[in-house]
Amino acid sequence: MHHQKMLNNEIAQVKSNILAMLAKSTYPVHKNLMLVLNKTASNEWLDCAAEKLGPEYALLISRMTKLEAAVSQIEIGQYGYCCDCEEKINSESLLIDPAIQRCHSCAKK
Ligand SMILES: [Zn+2]
């Protein structure tokens, strides 16, 4: 499925951004963390990163949380529905951002 591919691509991208930031960091603790994250299984990766990374990673972590949530919704067959009104989100919006959780009218509220 197309959206799933977009989500997985973006997850991989966010993940490599996080690892690239860690690689540039001068804190020794970040070097260790990078080794840990490189060895962490993908299903535990986000929890591990969210628990250990500081506020400078908050935006990347929150984006990844949304992407992972959308992937889970695909797996249980609930993808593409607004979390407020439960209407189907239009497919153009999902192509712009495959991780959106609200339809156009609920997003404006
Ligand atoms: Zn809605």
Q: From first to last of the 109 residues of the chain, give the pLDDT tens digit.
A: 689 999 999 999 999 999 999 999 988 889 889 999 989 888 899 999 999 999 999 999 999 999 999 999 999 999 999 999 999 999 999 999 999 999 999 999 8
CB burial class (10 A; 0-12, 13-18, 19+) of residue 67? Answer: buried
In-domain check, residue 21: yes
In-domain check, residue 48: yes
CA 4 to ligand 1 centroid distance, Å: 21
In-domain check, residue 32: yes
pLDDT score at 41:
86
In-domain check, residue 109: no
Quote the domain boundaries for residue 42.
Answer: 2-79
CA 67 to ligand 1 centroid distance, Å: 19
pLDDT score at 1:
60
Number of domains, the chain: 1
Which residue do the tokens 């628990």 mark? 51
In-domain check, residue 104: no
Q: Near ion ligand 1, which residues have CB within 5 Å? A: 82, 84-85, 103, 106
CA 88 to ligand 1 centroid distance, Å: 8
In-domain check, residue 29: yes
